[in-house]
Structure 1
């Protein structure tokens, strides 16, 4: 048993009247002890559930991010005309709506904006479809690449994926506790903010509940992160909805609230429902082939916004037009083919 960890657990688990928030340094220390399994399983599970009940603070999340930076993987800086965009999506995946982020990534990278994604396998308690399975369906096997190979793909194609199971086994080792406690721990919020990139990045954070956005803003302010976007997206992801106003926070030098109304741009519709992965892959391939569909419209709506937000286009209308062009003229499809060939050649070399 770790006596040092027990003292930190006592602070967060002492209840409404006597419990205390951790300092940034204490939160970093607690996270490191959990990642390194220096705390016992009983201590780790107790901390996760106690911290969930208490709710993490922005200062605590900043400390947890410090620990991830100290012990986790990081892709190295690359040269690019635009900052690398890190899309942070819930690791427990999707269960109701069709994922758009792979298409968004292809649109952005085909326009010269590098993109980094990260995630793991099926994650308790939701057990939704994770990104890794979607990319596998598209013929991209990130799980077969070492981190240095992912770095090469990022440098040559503009897309990278940090796979928790292989690239950050310390964090992957904590996944089983999510199933055992039956609730999302604060690590699920941390993952919405984590940037596994050593250079300056534009970090995009999906969220569901407004308090989460406030915690993100507080933690980023403490860590000096100024280029970020928050999105009240589909199932907490970075995917912009079409059946409601999109609530977005855009921060560079200062925070700006954006409320995008899909109807104003002609994109209002019911969300495309989640389908089995093989059917989703067929639908994505049809989008990349330039065939019109509701999924195509969702891809243009998302791609157009992010092209504007990342600085490729001067306004939303120009972004929407460019996203449509990149799909109909085959640039996004060519980018997928480029990434597929790059990853396949590296897998063969590794083998």
Structure 2
């Protein structure tokens, strides 16, 4: 048993009237003690549920991110003039709406914007479709690469993926607690903001509940992460919805922050999110999207891709972004990028 961890647990778990938030330094210590298994399973489980009930504050999230930076994988910078884009989505996947984040990542890479995603395998509490299953469907064994190979792939193709079980087993060892406590712990929140990259990066953080965005903004400030985008996306992902106005927060390196509200009807798009259906049908549907064929999911990919192409400076206006996204799909450029990644993995 760790007496040091027990003292931190007592601080956050003493009840609504006497519990106190941890300092950033204390949260970093707690994170390291959990990741290196110095804390016992009983202590870790108690901390995670107590911390969820108390609700984390930005300093605590920043401290946990410090622990991830200390003990987790960090990819060295690649040689590229554009900041790397990191797309942060919930690790427990999607179960209600069809994701297009992988298409967005390939589209950005095809437009010469280096893009990195990260995630795990099937994960509680939702056990939705994870990114790794989509990569495997496309014949991309990204979960088998070591970090050197991930960095090489990112440098060569401008596309990469950090796999939690393979590249951060200490964090993956904490996944089982999500099933045992039946709730997402605060670790699920920092995954939305985690940047496993050493160079200049722009982090996109999906969220569901408005308080999460406030936490993200204040945590990014403590981390000196000045370039970021927050998206009230489908199921907390980075995917902009059709069924409601997209609520987006955009921060610039100079500290300026603005709110952007985008409604698909204003740009000629529909108003219904594409349901997941069966995962088999969805994975087959992706083939049509890669070719730019008429399909509701293709429209979703254009809606998302167009916004991100504009956000990251490929296009001067959002309208130009939608046209560029459509052209990248219909011309086969996105499919060619997938083929390039596959060739790099299977020389």
Say whether the fold is shared (TM-score over 0.5): yes
Q: Which residue of 2 aligns with 1:297?
A: 299
Secondary structure of the residue that 2:38 maps to in structure 1?
coil
The farther-off stretch of 35-44 and 140-149 is 140-149
Q: Which residue of 2 aligns with 1:348?
A: none
Q: Which residue of 2 aligns with 1:173?
A: 173
CA contact (8 A) 1:61 1:219 kept: yes
| 1:173-192 equivalent positions in 2, closer than 5 A | 173-192=173-192
Q: Distance in 1 between matches of 2:311 and 2:101?
A: 15
Shift of 1:343: 1.5
Secondary structure of the residue that 1:46 maps to in structure 2?
helix
Q: Distance in 2 between matches of 1:7 and 1:287?
A: 53
Q: Which residue of 1 aligns with 2:2?
A: 2
Q: Which residue of 1 aligns with 2:269?
A: 267
TM-score normalised by structure 2 residue count: 0.98
Q: Distance in 1 between matches of 2:109 and 2:263?
A: 26
Q: Which residue of 2 aligns with 1:34?
A: 34
Q: Which residue of 1 aligns with 2:14?
A: 14
Deviations along 1:131-185, whole A, 9 cap, x unmatched? 1101111111111111111111101000010000010000000001111111110
Q: Distance in 2 between matches of 1:59 and 1:240?
A: 28
Q: Distance in 2 between matches of 1:222 and 1:196?
A: 17
Secondary structure of the residue that 2:193 maps to in structure 1?
coil
Shift of 1:278: 3.1
The farther-off stretch of 272-281 and 160-169 is 272-281
1:258 paired with 2:260, answer yes
Q: Which residue of 1 aligns with 2:65?
A: 65
Deviations along 1:270-299, whole A, 9 cap, x unmatched? 111113333222211112222111111000
CA contact (8 A) 1:82 1:311 kept: no
Q: Which residue of 1 aligns with 2:76?
A: 76
Shift of 1:82: 1.7
Secondary structure of the residue that 1:204 maps to in structure 2?
strand
CA contact (8 A) 1:28 1:63 kept: yes
Q: Distance in 2 between matches of 1:276 and 1:335?
A: 26
Q: Which residue of 2 aligns with 1:88?
A: 88
Q: Which residue of 2 aligns with 1:122?
A: 122
Q: Which residue of 2 aligns with 1:318?
A: 320
CA contact (8 A) 1:81 1:112 kept: no
Q: Distance in 1 between matches of 2:225 and 2:314?
A: 21
CA contact (8 A) 1:91 1:130 kept: yes
Q: Which blocks of at least 5 consecutive residues in structure 1 are unaligned? A: 346-351
Shift of 1:268: 2.4
Secondary structure of the residue that 1:318 maps to in structure 2?
helix
Q: Distance in 2 between matches of 1:303 and 1:334?
A: 16
Q: Which residue of 1 aligns with 2:285?
A: 283
Q: Distance in 2 between matches of 1:194 and 1:263?
A: 33
TM-score normalised by structure 1 residue count: 0.97
Q: Give 4+ residue runs of structure 1 displaced > 6 Å after superposition.
A: none
Pairwise CA RMSD: 0.8
Q: Which residue of 2 aligns with 1:214?
A: 214
Shift of 1:81: 3.3
The farther-off stretch of 268-277 and 111-120 is 268-277
Q: Distance in 2 between matches of 1:258 and 1:32?
A: 37
Q: Which blocks of at least 5 consecutive residues in structure 2 are unaligned? A: none
Deviations along 1:63-109, whole A, 9 cap, x unmatched? 11111001000111112232110000000000100011011011100
Q: Distance in 2 between matches of 1:51 and 1:144?
A: 33
CA contact (8 A) 1:137 1:278 kept: no
Secondary structure of the residue that 2:230 maps to in structure 1?
strand
